[in-house]
Amino acid sequence: MPRSTQTDRRATGCPPATLAAQAELEQALAAARLAEARLRAAVDAMPEGVVFLDPDGRYILWNEKYAEIYAASADLLEPGARLADTLRIGLARGDYPEAIGQEEAWLAERLQRLACCAPPHEQRLANGRRIRVEDRRTADGGIVGLRVDVTDLREREESLHAIFEANPVPLLIYDPVLEHVRAANEAACAHFGYTAEEFDLMPGAHLFDEDEWAEARLALRQDNSEKDRFWRQRAADGTRLDSVLFTRLIHIRGQHGVIISVFDVTERRRIEARMAYLARHDELTGLTNRAHCRDHLNELVGPDRRHSVTVALVDLDHFKVVNDTYGHQVGDVLLAQAAARMSALLPRAATLSRIGGDEFAIVFRKCSTTAVEKVARSIIAAMAEPFEVADHRLHIGATIGSALAPRDCTDPVTLMRYADLALYAAKAEQRGSFRRFDIAMDAAAQRKGRLEAHFREAVRSGALEVHYQPMINLATGETEGYEALLRWTHAEYGAVSPEVFIPLAEEMGLIDGVGQHVLQTACRDAVKWPGQLVLSVNVSPLQFRSGHLLNTVLQSLAASGLPPERLELEITEAVLMDRSHRTESTIRALRALGVGLSMDDFGTGYSSLSYLLSYPFTKIKIDRSFVLSLGAEENSRAVVRAVVGLGQSLGMSVTAEGIEDETVRDYLRAVGCFQGQGYLFGKARPDAELGHGEDHRDVA
């Protein structure tokens, strides 16, 4: 037993059981206080006034909105006060003008409504506001009340009549039971040629041609939702009117009615024609859209069609960077210019469609593979030329993949998928290139699909393991911490590389859950390590973008009890390229918490130095590519010396990755790099195999 604990027990004179009970009581009280605080916060966040009364009608809790509604009586609100007493005082002060002259009766009625939780009713206050009052009995006999300010709603309802009259659209209120027009606005009178007096209780049959009245009568009787139909109608002089009636069920003083809006058919048909065009075309570029492209392929490709059809998918490279840098307006102009350039290069027997943000599809009919490739390469060359938009000289590019029917397949959906696989392969190989589909691409996609399924099952079943690679003090050989590394061993595939399944987790949207698993597991393990051994954990850029990372770190530290100073997060330059407010605030919040921040893979990006100066990093990790080539490349040795000097100047520690032999270790130690990791000191192992007592001193 620790000496301090024994001393405390002797000083208090309490047995261990009593101390444990006291601790449990304090935890329970703390939990209760936290629950009450959360309840108060939740109630205060509600837009309605909320009040809780005990079975005797005494105040327990109310929110700020309730106090705001009853501001005149706010001084009377206190826990334990009776609602009946506050009402009496409010009556005496004139807070309820609707009760003047009948105060006792009003009070009795109000208390009776409260006692029996009567249906909702309205209450008028001295400040002219109208409040909807609703009370409900709770399980313990108490009451929870809702108060909603309906003043604006009532004012709008009262102004509906004025809106109805002034509306430029012809409006009718029709009674489907009596089959009469109950009201018409001035626009309707002008449209049909009747005066308001002539419209009053006019039979509905007077508005329709005789051959349509029976059908219209039935439609108006059965109408229970917003609808519209074309009808032939009659004006007062007998002229036929071709109009669209838009009907909507309403309530007229508790009775059902139908409000009819009358629109000119010409405008409606123009709008419908425009909508039909937009359904098949992209408004920005004027090209046909994905739906048109799909239908066009369905017409051209099939088992019974033998002529050749090629689908080429075009993806604009670096467009997102332009869009994010210069804004959507510039991006839209750029897309339109790109579409125009591509259209000018197409043969007559080809159709260009915009099928996504910066994705286009070209359907070639009866074109040879040579002709298709020639067009594709001319598009790639054209997209590589600079664009001039709003005084900006912009550079993008294009990557293209294609598939051919009936050679590759005779199904239009599969043909699009094959073209997409070819595009994916081209982008993976080199942007600004062209690839045709071959069957090996489909096989690779099938393997990837199976791997995704297995990985999803591994995440679900908890088959992913966290191993730890030591970080060694190169001067003393002592272990200073461990880097947490995720491992996946599959029954069929064996050990799957993190370079394979981590990108897979990001693509599948599972990286948040996987990252949370690593942090929680590693913190639980690290808290048991001796001394002040540091835990280092890699963080994906997508974890930052999701906005959940800070909460995950806080939960992991709280659940494990690991001090924040013993946790270090490794961040790549890809995280920092986002430069969003969320990313920056998360980084600074983590550092303020005490968590260390390490710049991982330093020296491989474009702006690593500027990021070091902009964010509160505590460590630099030299990328393994420089460490592995120390013995062969002077440039690598120069980079390592520069990074070590930079770390010393900025007050940051420096860690070298990938140390595999003693010569490299000795060189790093000689240039002032005093922490490293690599196979020379050991591979990553499960927590149970770490052997925390070992060190890696140079015994020679």
Burial of 91 (C-beta count, 10 Å sphere; 0-12/13-18/19+): middle
Q: CA-CA distance, 569 to 551, in Å (whole number)?
A: 14
How far, in whole angstroms, is CA 214 from its chain's centroid?
52
Q: CA-CA distance, 191 to 208, in Å (whole number)?
A: 14
Question: What's 497's DSSP letter?
Answer: P
The secondary structure of 595-621, three-state, reads CEEEEEEECCCCCHHHHHHHCCCCEEE
At 125 the pLDDT is: 85
Q: What are phi and psi of 175, to 5 degrees?
A: -95, 110
Residue type, 393: R
At 165 the pLDDT is: 79
Neighbours of 252 (CB within 10 A): 13
Q: What is the pTM of this model?
A: 0.51
What tokens does 300 get? 């051209």
Residue 406, preceding peptide bond in cis (omega within 30° of 0): yes
Q: CA-CA distance, 509 to 545, in Å (whole number)?
A: 12
CB contact at 8 A, 128 and 151: yes
Neighbours of 344 (CB within 10 A): 10
User: Please, which contacts does 11-15 make with residues 24 or more away whose CB atoms are closer than 8 Å?
Assistant: none
Greatest Cα pair distance, the chain, in angstroms, is 115
Point out the residues of the chain with pLDDT beneath 70.
1-14, 32, 157, 160, 201, 222-233, 239-240, 242-244, 246-256, 264-269, 578-579, 603-608, 692-700
User: How wide is the angle at C-alpha 198 spanned by C-alphas 194 and 204, nearest 5°?
Assistant: 85
Q: Following CA atoms 114, 117, 119, 124 in sequence, which dihedral angle do they give, to the nearest 10 degrees? A: 20
What tokens does 659 get? 């140390």
What b/e sequence results for 53-82 when a residue is b if at least 16 CB atoms lie within 10 Å of its CB, and e otherwise?
bbeebbbeebbebbeebbeebeebeeeeee
Q: What are phi and psi of 315, to 5 degrees?
A: -115, 125
Contact residues for 589 (Cβ-Cβ < 8 A; gap 6+) = 550
Q: CA-CA distance, 163 to 433, in Å (whole number)?
A: 62
Strand residues in 64-125 grouped as ranges (E): 121-124
Neighbours of 501 (CB within 10 A): 25
Neighbours of 208 (CB within 10 A): 20
Q: CA-CA distance, 251 to 367, in Å (whole number)?
A: 64
What tokens does 223 get? 């109408």
User: How wide is the angle at C-alpha 560 spanned by C-alphas 555 and 562, nearest 5°?
Assistant: 100
Neighbours of 19 (CB within 10 A): 14
How many residues comprise the chain? 700
Q: Which of 163, 98, 105, 85 is nearest to 130 (CA)?
A: 98
DSSP string, 432-464: T-EEE--HHHHHHHHHHHHHHHHHHHHHHHT--
Q: Which of 143, 118, 142 is nearest to 132 (CA)?
A: 118
Residue type, 116: C
Q: CA-CA distance, 398 to 338, in Å (whole number)?
A: 10
Q: Find the helix or strand (DSSP H, E) in which 516 lies.
A: helix 511-526
How far, in whole angstroms, is CA 666 from its chain's centroid?
49
CB contact at 8 A, 315 and 358: yes
Burial of 189 (C-beta count, 10 Å sphere; 0-12/13-18/19+): middle
Scan for tokens 């088959």, then name that residue. 463
How far, in whole angstroms, is CA 578 from its chain's centroid?
16
Contact residues for 511 (Cβ-Cβ < 8 A; gap 6+) = 502, 505, 540, 542, 543
At 360 the pLDDT is: 97
For residue 51, the number of C-alpha atoms closer than 13 Å in the C-beta half-sphere is 28
Neighbours of 673 (CB within 10 A): 26
User: Please, which contacts does 186-192 make with residues 24 or more away whose CB atoms are closer than 8 Å?
Assistant: 188/262, 191/235, 191/241, 191/262, 192/233, 192/235, 192/236, 192/241
pLDDT digits (tens, 9 = 90+) for 155-184: 776 776 777 778 888 888 888 777 888 888
How far, in whole angstroms, is CA 516 from its chain's centroid?
18
What b/e sequence results for 447-477 when a residue is b if at least 16 CB atoms lie within 10 Å of its CB, and e otherwise?
eeeebbebbeebbeeeebbbbbbbbbbbeee
CB contact at 8 A, 209 and 233: yes
Q: What are phi and psi of 617, to 5 degrees?
A: -75, 150
Burial of 10 (C-beta count, 10 Å sphere; 0-12/13-18/19+): exposed
How far, in whole angstroms, is CA 72 from its chain's centroid?
43
